[in-house]
Structure 1
Amino acid sequence: MPTRNPPLLRWTPKAVVFDCDGTLMDTERHWQEARNRAFSAFGLTPPRGFAERAKGVHYADCGRLMAEETQKPELATGLTTALLEHFLALVADEPLTMPGAAEFVHLLSGRLPLAVASNCPAQVVEESLGWAGLRRHFQHIVVPSGTGDHTADARPATRERLEDLRPKPWPDVYAAAARLCGVRPQDALAVEDSQTGVESARRAGLRVVGVGPRPAEEEADRADLWVTALHAPDLLAWAGRWTTGPVLPAPGDRAGGDDSAASLGGRSAGVDETA
């Protein structure tokens, strides 16, 4: 725990934009298993250290990377398709939230605009959050171009489409999410678990809370604050003070599910101050 109050904790955001995989949803292990299954389906062996290099990478870029690193560039399309199919099957069987994610989202829901900015297709994000009972808390979902609908509003009748949104680490999805929430990027907070996502949010002008095991100091310092999980006491206490007026609740989850189905996990939580 920090011995003094980090500067970020003296600021109040007007909107919060979350990453999905590894931040809200415990899906990184599903992506890893999906990569392994896709490699196996084509008779390939995963290159050493590939899991770390693939973390946070857009799934289509990951498919191309899988093909390149196995010296099979002609398999890029097939590997990408197999990767997504295996992932969707795995997450449907076991939709778990990251430790503290449901608690943190519930605390913020209805108090200020919430959005998701993800490198995954909109279908993946919507269904993952729906299965976990969290979809209704988010006014907007923003994903890169070429991954289906680029933004998904919580009310289907007002679904929007944005063109030419590049994936993280480009700033596009975070900049668009802040704009859709009606705030300037510098007034929004991003919540991220990967360096790819942290870089995207910083380039868009958002302040950033990193979540998960603390990385090397130089990487951790790219975030304004690093927490081990979203139920870190100092983070919850800080968020409990935020208010920007009421936000109309969205309808229930499109994909079904109930908040009670979300797993809160059991890891201990703490806050690390960046230098």
Structure 2
Amino acid sequence: MKAAIFDLDGTLIDSMWLWKELANKYLLSIGITPPEDLRESLKELSLLEACNYMKDRFKIQKTAKKINSEMEDILSNYYAKEFQLKPYVLDTLRKLKEKNIRMCLATATEDRLVLLALDRLEIRDYFEFIQTCNNTGLGKWQKEFFQLAIDRLQIDPEDIWVFEDALHCIISAKKCGLNVVGIYDDSAIEDMDSIKELVDIYIKDFSQLEVESL
């Protein structure tokens, strides 16, 4: 192992519970009853992609950027003050740094929100770069998203491990020949069997990770 690519939400921080309800909360706030299939329709989309989808589907008379801004207002307080690291994350980051493993962050969350959490939790300096859907123009369901991270690291995929909780991201990472550690999160419980079939290692939390074996 020479490098690690970390997801943020559901992997490093316990935040997916809010993301699962965010679109519903927003639609209710503007007087629209969210349909039952909304969560499934949005689960592979970045926030801005989700805003475009909701604008078109529900004929919202605002720009996607305005919707995005209003949803970010709901999120900002949680990233700046509430979300916490998942168990044993800091210990793992420290161990990897001690082994001189290069680390980066690859997330669908908007850059500003990412930095709010990383700075408060004091883990920003562990990451060589932060790659987001917004700053790349790519979705995490696209293998090109992970290929870009590989290109930036300039390391062979077989020497890189991805840490991820979401099935669609795991699929795109594996398409690039990357090793994957699947992380349990309540938000992905319906996909657990499929995730376990795809990943190289599956863990309930980072206490189960043997860094020396990677």
How far has the Cα of 1:35 moved from its partner?
A: 2.7
Structure 1 residues 61 and 39: CA distance shift in structure 2, 3 A? same
Structure 1 vs Structure 2 CA RMSD: 2.3
Is the alpha carbon distance of 1:107 and 1:39 closer, same or farther for their aligned partners in structure 2, counting shifts above 3 Å? same
Structure 1-normalised TM-score?
Answer: 0.67
1:223 to 195, 199, 212: 199
In the TM superposition, 1:66-105 aligns within 5 A as: 66-68=54-56, 71-72=58-59, 74-75=61-62, 77=64, 78-105=66-93
> Are 1:169 and 2:158 an aligned pair?
no
Aligned to 1:202: 174
Distance in 2 separating the partners of 1:86 and 1:58: 16
Using the alignment, how far apart are the partners of 2:40 and 2:92 within structure 1?
27
Q: Is the 2:170–2:195 contact (alpha carbons within 8 Å) kept by the matching residues of 1?
A: no
Point out 4+ residue stretches in structure 1 off by more than 6 angstroms: none
Partner in structure 2 of residue 121 of structure 1: 110
Render the CA deviation track for 1:88-139: whole Å, top value 9, x for unaligned.
Answer: 1222120311222222112112421001111122222222111111111111
**Contact 1:101-1:230 at 8 Å conserved across structures:** yes
State the TM-score, normalizing by the size of structure 2.
Answer: 0.84
Is the Cα contact below 8 Å between 1:141 and 1:177 reproduced in 2?
no
**Residue type at the aligned position of 1:58:** S
Cα drift, residue 220 of structure 1:
2.7
Residue deviations 1:193-235 (CA, integer Å, cap 9, x gap): 1012112211222111111156342343122222111221xx2
Aligned length: 208
Q: Secondary structure at 1:115's aligned position in 2? A: strand
Q: Secondary structure at the match of 2:148?
A: helix
| Secondary structure, aligned partner of 2:5 | strand
In the alignment, which residue of structure 1 is the partner of 2:5?
17
- Contact 2:87 2:206 (8 Å CA) reproduced: yes
Structure label with greater radius of gyration: 1
Tell me which residue corresponds to 1:178. 150
2:120 pairs, out of 117, 131, 134, with 131
Shift in Å, 1:21: 1.0
The answer on whether the counterparts of 1:195 and 1:219 sit within 8 Å (CA) in structure 2 is: yes
Q: How many angstroms apart in 2 are the aligned matches of 1:52 and 1:226? A: 23
Q: Distance in 2 between matches of 1:25 and 1:56?
A: 18
Structure (1 or 2) with the greater helix fraction: 2
Q: How far apart, in 1, do the equivalents of 2:206 and 2:41 lie? A: 24
| Percent sequence identity over aligned pairs | 22
| Preserved CA contact (<8 Å) 1:17 1:178 | no
User: Aligned partners of 1:102 and 1:66: how far apart in 2?
Assistant: 36
Amino acid at match of 2:164: E
Q: Structure 2 vs 1, CA of residues 240 and 62 (structure 1 numbering), >3 Å: closer, same or farther?
A: same
Structure 1: gaps (5+ residues): 1-12, 151-163, 243-275
Q: Where does structure 2 lack aligned partners over 5 or more consecutive residues?
A: none
Distance 1:79 1:47, change over 3 A: farther
